[in-house]
Amino acid sequence: MLLRVSSWKENQLSKADSDEELIVKVGQGDIRAFELLVSRHQKSALRAAQRFVSDRQEAEDLAQEAFLIIFRKAKHYEPKASFKTWFFTILLNLCRNSVKKKKPIYFDTLPPEIVETAGSDDPASQFDRRQIQRALADAIARLPENQRAAFILCHYENFSYAEAAKTIGVSVKAVESLLVRAKRALREELAWLRKNRTP
């Protein structure tokens, strides 16, 4: 079950407070600051986790665990670090551990540059599209871990390359390379499907 935040408690804190200021307050014992952080990031955390593990209940558990971890570790937070990358690094590691235990199935939407490879999107091709989505899920599941993480963070969670680099623990140039290789692999998979489509 997701953590719940009371709206009146949220209003007690300044919405102008940055995430970094709030997590410092959490480290000082301010529970309301923690609740506001949860309120701000719960939806995006759940969305990202669900894209990794494709299971709503498991995604909720992972997101909640990530929030509990930052609550426990708040005292050790370094103010110079971005809260967003710090938090998503924790969430990403939890998701990585989870997907090692089972084969994930990913998204119900496709990035435009990948869809183009798949051909027509007319009503007659809807069944074909579902096949492509399943093939994409399988292809993403086979991507090396860092390629998969870079693809999800940059294309679905709108992370900048710099943010994704910090979250994954690689350089910006490495993220760019990971994305190029991930998209190439996905395009090749869908190109194979297109060649085998029934006329």
Residue 13 DSSP SS3: coil
CB atoms within 10 A of CB 2: 15
Q: pLDDT value at position 11?
A: 47
Q: Is residue 105 included in any domain, yes or no? A: no
Which of 19-23, 53-57, 103-107, 113-117 has the largest mean confidence? Answer: 19-23
pLDDT band at 55 (very low <50, low <70, confident <90, very high): confident
Local structure of residue 6 (DSSP, 8 states): -
Please tell me the total count of domains within the chain.
2
Written in H, E and C, the secondary structure of 60-124 is HHHHHHHHHHHHHHHHHCCCCCCHHHHHHHHHHHHHHHHHCCCCCCCCCCCCHHHHHHHCCCCHH
Is the pTM higher than 0.85? no
| Same-domain status, 19 and 93 | yes
* CA dist., res. 156 & res. 152, Å (int): 5
User: Which of 72, 43, 57, 60 is closest to 157 using CA atoms?
Assistant: 43
Would you say residue 160 has pLDDT above 90? yes
Across the range 65-72, mean pLDDT stands at 96
CATH number, residue 72: 1.10.1740.10
Would you say residue 176 has pLDDT above 90? yes
Q: Is residue 77 included in any domain, yes or no? A: yes
Would you say residue 193 has pLDDT above 60? yes
CATH number, residue 147: 1.10.10.10
100 vs 192: which has the higher pLDDT = 100
